[in-house]
Amino acid sequence: MTFTLRRLALATGCLLLAGNALAAEPKRPECIAPASPGGGFDLTCKLVQSALVNEKILSKPMRVTYMPGGVGAVAYNAVVAQRPADAGTLVAWSSGSLLNLAQGKFGRFDENAVRWLSAVGTSYGAIAVKADSPYKTLDDLVAALKKDPSKVVIGSGGTVGSQDWMQTALIAKAAGINPRDLRYVALEGGGEIATALLGGHIQVGSTDISDSMPHIQSGNMRLLAVFSEERLDDPEMKNIPTAKEQGYDIVWPVVRGFYLGPKVSDEDYAWWKDSFDKMLASEDFAKLRDQRELFPFAMTGEELDTYVKKQVAQYKVLAKEFGLIQDQPQ
């Protein structure tokens, strides 16, 4: 009898565990891309949309919704203030999001306001022009900027102080040009930058390589430089020169990942973390990531939280250097 009761208790426990595992999957999972369709946030959401189903972590694809505004600020505020405990809502972030947080551009919420879940890959900043542009190298672009910066219209994701602005500001600084003299058009992410560039509304796009590659492959766009340490080890990217090899010591990785609302339970957060750990270790995920022109950068949980806080601190130093934020009085 005792043996039978033990078996019954064990079977009941296994059923409960199975039930809990099934219950952990959100009923209506959603990935918010905090920009218009077609850019890096969209790419990041669609990457995991496919991967989570392929790995059988989700039984059906999550929805991808778009919440443009402030290059992430609108989505950040909406999730923290209105959906803080919604365990089914993932929000895409990038290094640009952290740079904006460092400058206080997300309003009253700082980097401690959400639960940082995962980084899934990295791209690199890049300077793009149309295929028929007269600018063939960074030196060509710098020469035009020195002659008359008002004649070169640069499209960037976000306003002064954004990640895309910072890339060209670093070029300007290296060339002895005041970054404030550059002529910018603020756009909402990589999709709008590509549209404006190909439509002739801007002459230069400060963007990243993953956003640009579909247009490079179609022959409509060229990259003057990529902000990586060395040429990228990819058959379609190996001919793209780095800024460093052209004499501009600028490296700008664009890490991409996800966060959850601040009141998501520890149990739900742990489920997502374990799910992403499984996904990131998968060879199938690596193939999907490579197809989207992203490079390996896998980090979750506490390790990611530490990384984010460190990056925000470093971006604050950079932002102060460019006069974007002031030291607070003691």
275-278, Cβ contacts within 8 angstroms, sequence gap of 24 or more: 275/52, 275/55, 275/57, 276/117, 276/118, 276/120, 276/300, 278/55, 278/57
| pLDDT, averaged across the chain | 90
pTM of the model: 0.82
Does 9 have pLDDT greater than 50? no
User: Is CATH 3.30.390.10 what the domain over 124-253 is classified as, yes or no?
Assistant: no
Reply yes or no on whether the pLDDT at 159 is more than 90. Answer: no
**Helices in 38-114 by DSSP H: which ranges?**
40-54, 73-82, 95-102
Confidence of residue 20 (pLDDT cuts 50, 70, 90): very low
Mean pLDDT of the region 293-322: 96
Looking at per-residue pLDDT, the higher value among 296 and 18 belongs to 296
pLDDT tens track for 236-263? 899 999 999 999 999 999 999 999 999 9
Residue 1 has pLDDT above 70, yes or no: no
Q: Identify the weakest region by mean pLDDT among 20-24, 194-198, 237-241, 294-298.
A: 20-24
| 54 pLDDT tier (thresholds 50, 70, 90) | very high
pLDDT of residue 68: 92
81 or 191: which leads in pLDDT: 81
- The mean pLDDT of 148-165, rounded to a whole number, is 90
Class of domain 27-122+254-321: alpha beta
Q: Where in the chain is the domain with CATH 3.40.190.10?
A: 124-253
Integer Cα distance of 294 and 123 in angstroms: 5
Tens-place pLDDT, residues 120-151: 999 999 999 999 999 999 999 999 999 999 99
Amino acid 14: pLDDT: 47
Segments of the chain assigned to CATH 3.40.190.150: 27-122+254-321
What six digits make up the tokens of 134? 């007269």
pLDDT (tens digit, 9 = 90+) per residue, 214-227? 899 999 999 999 99
> DSSP string covering 267-290, please?
HHHHHHHHHHHHHHT-HHHHHHHH
C-alpha to C-alpha distance for 266 and 263, rounded to whole angstroms:
9
Contact 225, 242 (CB under 8 A): yes
